[in-house]
Structure 1
Amino acid sequence: MTSVDAHVVVDRGTFRLDVRLRIDPGQVVALLGPNGAGKTTALRALAGLQPLTAGHVTVDGTDLDRPGRRRFIPPERRPIGVVFQDYLLFPHLSALDNVAFGPRRHGVDRRTAREQAAGWLDRVGLAGHARRRPRQLSGGQAQRVALARALAVQPALLLLDEPLAALDARTRLDTRAELQRHLAEHAGAALLVTHDPLDALVLADRLVIVEDGRVVQEGDAATITARPRTDYVARLVGLNLYRGRADGHTVHLADGFSLAAADPLDGDAFVVFRPAAVALHPHQPDGSPRNTWQATVAGIQRHGDNLRIQLTGPITAAADVTPAAAAHLHLAPGQRLWAAVKAAETHAYPAAEARS
């Protein structure tokens, strides 16, 4: 049984969001996309904070919003819990009463609501912070109170809007692990809105990528990281992506450049390779690489323990090299050099998505 079946259509001026979402019980779906893609609008529409223009939001078989039938359930009556990016805890209430707020709104008496809230604070490791107000909590603690408040109403759908964005790197790491555990224990559906691929890959069972108000790709993490279908997704997963026409092991790109690929294919195709697969040489290399081209260094950035080199030329590409290799090549913006990628490191796949 599907917990959430939604066709979210929202018109805002010249922008139209048109996204279909299906989430099963116990499943976590991550909604990713660049700024302005429509992620937060989708979350607000599911929560009832943004009425639909068309389409529907159905949770556990009940229509919460269906403009065609003039059906709209207000936010406070929806079986939905929300963790907002800034948490939006009530500043005048203690952590305990923040968590008890939801059950109280659902008709639970004050004593029982506070008992339930105490249980949730214990589950998120904050039993000793019940009397503290939001200003007395750290960022990670505030996030856990917000999560407990959302889960205390036992929602059929849990919405999380960039729940880790406000945290520093160390707190984010610890809180992500905590959040993963609580999501695994949640029996209902969950939708995570994020722009951080690591949050999505760690926390979600399935990814839905939105650009300009439309779904451009969806699937499990392994499929999306192996076969990106847009430049945004390719950057998200750290791959160089090109589109062209495949003829056997050769993919001909639009500008006349061709790439040799490991996979034989015919027709419209994408071709990808990892930045780490790009070797840089001061002179044209001899030997096995079948893909070589003269390039210009356009930029140099730190990337983990390596340097990411942005290259222009017949194709734009990113290459990852060690600091030692960069020093040996005396890399600098504007420098001309040669780039090479082995055909075995270059993978092609059909540009047209398979239909089931």
Structure 2
Amino acid sequence: MTGPEAWGAVARALDARLVVRLGGFALDLALAVRPGEVVALLGPNGAGKTTALRALAGLQPLHGGWIRLGGVLLDDPAGRVLVPPQRRPVGVVFQDYLLFPRLTALDNVAFGPRSRGMPRRQARDEAAGWLERVGLGGYARRRPRELSGGQAQRVALARALAVRPDLLLLDEPLAALDARTRLETRAHLRQHLLAHVGVALLVTHDPLDAMVLADRLVVIEDGAVVQSGDAATVTTRPRTDYVARLVGLNLYRGRADGNTVTLAGGFTLTAGRSQRGEVFVAFPPSAVALVRDRPDGGPRNTWPVTVAEIAPNGDRLRVELTGPVRAAADVTAAGAAHLGLHPGQRLWAVLTASETAAYPAGESGRDTGSGQPAGSGQPAG
């Protein structure tokens, strides 16, 4: 039997600690991923995401730690073990796909099995099965220049899966696509990742890609994990400025005494839930209302602000505010017109306590100590 149907059902877990030193940069990343699980690595440029994928693929040797897939050591500097890339059960989809321009889609997909010793005819049969699976059975004779961006991405995915990898690595697989193609291709990719019995690791800058495609998010900054968890936890309880910007939340750190949280500089916010000790406080820009005059007897979270910047944000306007603390607010076009909104304008910000989430700062991950919001990022989605 050939083609995807022959893919063995025995899956292997990933257990790795990736220690890589490149000039002044150091990556130290521990990863444990279950069979069938999809993990997304997120982080700013230079955080170490692609370095981690290159190490797992065997393109970047470790300086410390190990890579173990299904109990088999692939890299262990201390034990002088280094399995070369071509011998690892790993499939890779690169950001620019790297399809061979002179080969047809069929032969591009067959390349992996052929490079691992499979006879030519069997490899082409295998490739044909994978092209059918990704919906491109009728495109076997086309070359990369004759494919759309979404079709090229699916050929690259089929090529990676054709080697029946225990570990599938995807480096920004949707970054090269336009918005419309990205939406359709994301749905196709989700289907194939659900069917993948091995471990899948996805690098992306897009929080929507991560939340749609991954079971778990791992956020990396400066070569280290700062937060990890399911999408709901990470997006509602950010622990660094980068994560807060990524999901579009205002984030502060302070000390809680019941429902009152005191931030750096003595500014206080009233949160919806009682807490004690060091906490993070987060709320969405959409929860901040802007008014001309200070409300009489209104919500306890009311403070004077100055409009610093106004920018489009979907069907609303994102307003950056200065004052006792920096913050971001989202207003409708009608609301902006009613206020006569302009930079330098002085207003009042109003935030209800029920929209303000406070949670302990002592959880896993590297805490931010800035005491400043990360409200200038774009909201997820």
TM-score by length of 1: 0.98
**Residue 261 of structure 2 is aligned to residue 251 of structure 1:** yes
Q: Which residue matches 1:152?
A: 162
Q: What RMSD, in angstroms, separates the aligned Cα atoms of the two structures?
A: 1.1
Q: Which of the numbers 224, 237, 243 marks the counterpart of 1:214?
A: 224
Which aligned pairs between 1:38-49 and structure 2 lie closer than 5 A?
Answer: 38-49=48-59
What's 2:340 paired with? 330
TM-superposed deviation, 1:284: 1.1
- Cα offset, 1:2, TM superposition: 6.0
Q: Which residue of structure 1 lines up, in the alignment, with residue 198 of structure 2?
A: 188
- 1:224 and 2:234 matched: yes
Structure 2 counterparts to residues 1-356 of structure 1, below 5 A: 3-353=13-363
Structure 1 residue 354: Cα displacement: 6.3
In structure 1, the partner of 2:379 is none
CA distance in 2, matches of 1:96, 1:2: 28
Partner SS for 1:289: coil
- Cα distance in 1 for residues equivalent to 2:225 and 2:364: 15
Task: Give the match's secondary structure for 1:165.
Answer: coil
Q: What amino acid sits opposite 1:173 in the alignment? A: L
Contact 2:73 2:81 in 1 (8 A): yes
Structure 2 Cα separation of the partners of residues 231 and 240 of structure 1: 9
Regions of 4+ moved over 6 Å: none
Alpha-carbon contact 1:140-1:175 (below 8 Å) kept: yes
Letter in structure 2 aligned against 1:4: L
Whole-Å Cα distance in 2 between the matches of residues 278 and 287 of structure 1?
Answer: 17
Identical counterparts, % of pairs: 70
Task: Give the direction of change, closer, same or farther, for the CA distance of 1:89–1:245 in structure 2 (3 Å limit).
Answer: same
> Unaligned stretches of 5+ in structure 2?
1-10, 366-381
Letter of the structure 2 residue corresponding to residue 148 of structure 1: A
> Which ranges of structure 1 fall in alignment gaps of 5 or more residues?
none
SS in structure 2 opposite 1:337? Answer: strand
Quote how far apart the aligned CAs of 1:286 are. 2.2
Distance in 2, Cα, partners of 1:33 & 1:287: 43
Counterparts of 2:62 and 2:113, CA distance in 1: 27
Larger mean CA deviation between 174-183 and 280-289 belongs to 280-289
Q: Is the CA contact 2:12–2:166 (under 8 Å) kept in the aligned structure 1?
A: no
How far has the Cα of 1:138 moved from its partner?
0.8
Q: Does the residue aligned with 2:329 lie in a helix, a strand or coil?
A: strand
AA aligned to 1:327 is A
Q: Deviations 1:313-349 (Å, cap 9, x if unpaired)?
A: 1111110111100110111111111101011111111
Which amino acid counterpart does residue 108 of structure 1 have in structure 2? M
User: For residues 334 and 52 of structure 1, what CA distance do their matches in structure 2 show?
Assistant: 52
**Per the alignment, in what secondary structure is the counterpart of residue 140 of structure 1?**
helix
Give 1:65's aligned amino acid.
Answer: D
What amino acid is the match of 2:248?
G
SS at match of 1:326: helix
Q: Output the CA distance in 1 between the equivalents of 2:156 and 2:118.
A: 19
Equivalent position SS for 1:320: strand
Give the AA of the match of 1:16: A
- Identify which range, 297-306 or 72-81, moves more after superposition: 297-306
Letter in 1 for 2:274: P
CA deviations on 1:145-203 (whole Å, 9 max, x unpaired) are 00000000110000000000000000000000000000001110100000100000000
Deviations 1:229-260 (A, max 9, x none): 00111111111100011111111011111111
Partner-residue secondary structure (3-state), 1:102: helix
In structure 1, C-alpha distance between the alignment counterparts of 2:80 and 2:126, rounded to whole Å: 36
Instruction: Give 3-state SS (helix, strand or coil) of 1:195's partner.
Output: coil
Distance across 1 between alignment mates of 2:58 and 2:296: 62
Classify the secondary structure of the residue corresponding to 1:125: coil
Deviation, structure 1 residue 97: 0.4
